Amino acid sequence: NRGLCGGFNNNIIKQVNNAIKQGGAEYHVLPLGKKANDAFKKDASLAPQGFGEDTWKIFDDLNFDAAQEVAEAIMEQFRAGTYDAVKIVYNKFVNAAIQEPTMEDYLPLEPLETGEEGPSGVDIEYIFEPNQAEIVERIIPNSLKVQLYKGLLDSHAAEHGARMTAMHQATENGGELLRELRISYNKARQAAITTEILEIVAGSEALDA
pLDDT, tens digit, 9 for 90 and up, residues 51-71 = 766 788 889 899 999 999 999
96 Cβ contact partners less than 8 Å away, ≥ 6 residues apart: 161, 164, 165
Mean pLDDT within 144-155? 96
Domain range for 163: 8-111+121-168
Write the pLDDT tens digit of every residue in 5-29: 888 989 999 999 999 888 778 888 9
pTM exceeds 0.75: yes
Residue 133 maps to a domain: yes
Write the pLDDT tens digit of every residue in 169-203: 999 999 999 999 999 999 999 999 999 999 888 88
- Report the pLDDT value the prediction gives residue 205, as an integer from 0 to 100: 76
Count how many domains the chain has.
Answer: 1
b/e map 154-191, b = 16+ CB within 10 Å: bbbbbbebbbebbeeeeeeeeeeeeeeeeeeeeeeeee
- Report the pLDDT value the prediction gives residue 5, as an integer from 0 to 100: 85
CATH number, position 42: 3.40.1380.10
Mean pLDDT within 113-140? 70
Residue 201 maps to a domain: no
- Report the pLDDT value the prediction gives residue 50, as an integer from 0 to 100: 59
CA R_g for the chain: 30
Residue 207 maps to a domain: no
Residue 94 maps to a domain: yes
> For 63, which DSSP code?
-
Residue 84 maps to a domain: yes
- Report the pLDDT value the prediction gives residue 38, as an integer from 0 to 100: 86
Q: Which of 47-56, 132-141, 168-177 has the highest mean pLDDT?
A: 168-177
43 pLDDT exceeds 90?
A: no
Residue 80 maps to a domain: yes
Tell me if 51 sits within 8 A of 78, measured CB to CB.
no
